Amino acid sequence: MIELKNVDKTYNPGRPNAVYALRRVSLHIEEGEMVGVIGPSGAGKSTLLHVLGCIDRFDSGSYLLDGREVSQLGDREYSRLRNREIGIVLQDFGLIEEFSVLENVMTPLFFTPGMRGKARRKRALETLNQVGIGNLASRSVTALSGGQKQRVAIARALVNHPRLLLADEPTGALDQKTSAEIMALLHALSEQGHTLVVITHDPAVAAVCDRLYYIQDGTLRDGSAADMARPVVASPAPAQEAPPAAE
Amino acid sequence: MTFLYLGLRMFRRNLALNVIVILQIIVALLLTNLLVGQYNLASDTLRQTAGFDADATYYYMPDATMDTTGERIEAAAALLAQHEGEYLAEQAVQVFLESTEGKDPMTYAYGPETIAHLDATLGAGVWLDEAQTAAGRIPCVTVGPYRVGEVLTFTLTDGKPLALDENGEPIARPGVQLEFEVVGTLQDTAYILTMNGMSNDPRLDEILELSIYEEEGTPILLCRQADLAQYRQQVDFSFDPADNALMYFPEGRTAASEALVASLSEHTWVTPLSEARARTQEERSKTIQTLLPVILALLFIGLVALVCLTLLNTMRSLRTYALYYICGMRWGDHRKICLGYVVCLLLGAAVLIGPVMYLLGEMLSLGELIFGWNNLAFSAGIVALAALVPLVGPALLMRRETPLDYLNESW
């Protein structure tokens, strides 16, 4: 499903303030796997997510998504991948406040060619029901609890039936009980065949992942539960190198 | 449609400010059309009279002497009689037609020189010099509810007040029933050559009179004097040869013609058509000079407001754009959303301009303006400016921004 080989990503290349965010990163994720990425803040987790989510381009190396070399794709194809193949869940939910719950979930469908009004609504409602909040469709997102907001964010990520779901600290802003509910939902999605990559600091989240990767100073390696015990803030030197607002 | 919808959502964010900008666009459109309509009014009189030899055509009007004794008018008439054959004087003779149904039309009969030189503002059909009708029918050009080809029946009368019999009942006027065939129609708002000017330094809009059929409701009928001449014996509609008229000199401007005009000027007001044209042009320029700075200032303020508002909306929407981006929008497509937003503004202006024009119509005398292709061109220009200029700010702003800058707020 996903194959990264020797991927490098540098911010401000060639300048004194150059930041080496990813250094020869390689990983392999099979379809249907639920993989966790752990590591201290500023280690490159977000950059990795940007690259995997086709939000940002990388400098060198190879990224195969379903056998296609992503680096060779143009802007249009990149957007198509973000729209159809990849769903992204953000830590702060990333919801549009002036939109209703339904409109937030419909957002990716606005950019899906051939998807008309009625079909959009139908698909969005189905997805809201899938994550258990179909009854909130007409509500304003500002009136929702944290757990409900995260479900809306997950529904938005799922609405175009992507095969790859990327979640950045999906439980970071939630209490323990709600976190458990969200993780149960993500785990259920994984069992339904979705491929999940979850960035987390939360041992409970890491515990439900099939595999873990650990990233530090832009270098990725296989991780384990023991890595969760490491400091969540990167060591001083690499932290200064990391992109200022990367995490 | 998607980008129009997303633009609408952006529009709804600052509804009150957007309504103010819409009103600014409407005011700019209204004022511009007002100015262009005024310009068209003056231009219409200039265009209609362009075929006259302005230097050798004079307009004279004894009424303007305000001489209650009539002596000077008689002197003018005597002078004209003395020089008969050296000039042609033609009037817009008002004749009286009575209708059995509907309103009586205001009717003017022109002489051949006037018909040949006047370039009337036709809406359909042909002018009187090209008219061909069936025998017995009098060709006419109309303003009003009539269509080309329509045959109208009127009674030609002397137009004098009705006399009463011994029982106090009105006695029917003598009259001749005539059939007119409409060969051409003028536009509903049109200048009609009536030669009714009353000032001693007339502009063309005093020699030609603005007729607004929609407001006045009186139809106007124009015909040839020659077609009515044969009925003069039956109905007295003769006119005073020294009355308001256009005087033509077939030889052009000569020493003899100038001498006659100089002599005539001692008894009545005589204005070369060239002077009337010059005054009209001067008035037209003055109108533009007065209104143009106001319109430009308003347009400038409106555009600056629009640019600022679009920029403000874009800056407030950057995070939303970043979220659209992760949902599959191309970053450059923010321009389409901005355009959608501007289209919403313009649609708002289009929806509101009708009621606003209706409400302000009386106050701004919009009915007394002539609207032409240049109104459309200037309005389109303003709309294009309002659509394109506001896109420049966001485009420049977004060149420096990437979606990551706004997603990283949470990442």
Number of Cβ pairs closer than 8 Å across A and B? 76
CB contact under 8 A, B328 and A46: no
B5 part of contact set with chain A, CB < 8 Å? yes
Question: pLDDT by residue (tens digit) across A96-110?
Answer: 988 899 999 999 999
Mark whether B191 and B250 lie in a shared domain: yes
**Gap from B331 CA to chain A (nearest CA, Å):** 9
List the pLDDT tens digit at each of the 411 positions of chain B: 788 888 888 888 778 888 888 888 888 888 888 888 888 888 999 999 999 988 889 988 876 545 566 677 788 888 888 988 888 889 888 888 988 877 889 999 999 999 999 999 898 999 998 888 888 899 999 998 899 999 999 999 887 777 788 888 877 777 889 999 999 999 888 889 998 887 888 899 888 988 877 777 889 999 999 999 888 888 877 666 667 889 999 888 899 999 999 998 888 888 999 999 999 999 999 988 988 888 888 888 888 888 888 888 888 888 888 999 999 999 888 888 888 888 888 888 888 888 887 777 767 666 677 778 888 888 888 888 888 888 888 888 877 778 887 776 543
- Is the residue at B411 inside a domain? no
Phi-psi region of B329 (alpha: psi -120 to 50; beta: other; left: phi over 0): beta
> B25 and B101 in one domain?
no
Which residues of B are less than 8 Å from A99 in CB distance?
Answer: 9
CB contact under 8 A, B404 and A99: no
Chain A residues touching residue B325 (CB < 8 angstroms): 55, 79, 82
What's the pLDDT band for A164 if we cut at 50, 70, 90? Answer: very high
Residue B170 has what pLDDT?
78
Instruction: Let me know whether B255 and B319 are in one domain.
Output: no
Quick check: helix, strand or coil at residue A7? strand
Instruction: Tell me which chain A residues have a C-beta less than 8 angstroms from the C-beta of B323.
Output: 94-96, 107
Interface of B with A in 62-91 (CB under 8 A): none
- Shared domain for B352 and B389, answered yes or no, is yes
Give residue A236's pLDDT band: very low, low, confident or very high (50, 70, 90). very low
Domain at A2-229, CATH from 3.40.50.2300, 1.10.3470.10, 3.40.50.300, 3.50.50.60: 3.40.50.300
B34 and B142 assigned to the same domain: no
B221 and B370 housed in the same domain: no
Q: How far apart are CA A225 and CA A205, in angstroms?
A: 11
CB nearest A168 (choices: B320, B324, B411):
B411
Residue B337 to chain A, least CA–CA distance (Å): 12
Q: Are residues B238 and B134 in the same domain?
A: yes
Both tokens of A142, joined, read 């500002």
Facing residue for B320 by CB, picked from A92, A96, A243: A96
Tokens of B55: 């230097």
Q: Of the candidates B326, B332, B408, which has its C-beta nearest A82's C-beta? A: B326
Same domain, B326 and B222: no
- Together in a domain, B288 and B372: yes
Using the beta-carbon criterion (under 8 Å), do B328 and A50 form an inter-chain contact? Answer: no
Q: Could you tell me which chain A residue has the CA closest to the CA of B318?
A: A96
- pTM metric for this prediction: 0.70
One domain for residues B141 and B229: yes
Chain A within 8 Å of B99 (Cβ-Cβ)? no
Residues B76 and B27 in one domain: no
> In this structure, are B186 and B289 located in the same domain?
no
Which of B326, B330, B410 shows the shortest C-beta gap to A91? B410
The whole-number pLDDT of residue B101 equals 79
Name the domain boundary from B247, B274, B301: B274
- Residues of chain B with C-beta less than 8 angstroms from the C-beta of A156: 327
- Per-residue confidence (pLDDT) for residue A240, from 0 to 100: 42
Domain membership of residue B193 (yes or no) is yes
The two tokens of residue B58 are 């004079």
Average pLDDT of A120-138?
90
**Residues in contact with B396: Cβ distance below 8 Å, sequence separation at least 6, in sequence order:** none
| pLDDT-wise least confident of A1-5, A13-17, A228-232, B404-408 | A228-232
Question: What pLDDT, on a 0 to 100 scale, did the predictor assign at position A90?
Answer: 85
Please state the three-class secondary structure of chain B as a single string.
Answer: CHHHHHHHHHHHHCHHHHHHHHHHHHHHHHHHHHHHHHHHHHHHHHHHCCCCCCCCEEEEEHHHHCCCCCHHHHHHHHHHHHCCCCCEEECCEEEEEECCCCCCCEEEEECHHHHHHCCCCEEEECCHHHCCCCCCEEEEEEECCCCCCCEEEEEEECCCCCEECCCCCEECCCEEEEEEEEEEEECCEEEEECCCCCCCCCCHHHHEEEEEHHHHCCCEEEEEHHHHHHHCCCCCCCCCCCCCEEEECCCCCCHHHHHHHHHHHCCCEEEEHHHHHHHHHHHHHHHHHHHHHHHHHHHHHHHHHHHHHHHHHHHHHHHHHHHHHHCCCCHHHHHHHHHHHHHHHHHHHHHHHHHHHHHHHHHHCHHHCCCCHHHHHHHHHHHHHHHHHHHHHHHHHHHCCCHHHHHCCCC
Where a domain ends, among B242, B258, B274? Answer: B274
C-alpha span between B89 and B257 (Å, rounded): 13
Q: Which residues on chain A are in Cβ contact (under 8 Å) with B12?
A: 98
Question: Last residue of a domain, which of B274, B300, B320?
Answer: B274
Domain housing B163: 50-274
Whether the Cβ atoms of residue B125 and residue B183 lie closer than 8 Å to each other: yes
Give contacts of B336 with chain A, Cβ < 8 Å: none
How many domains is chain B partitioned into structurally?
Answer: 2
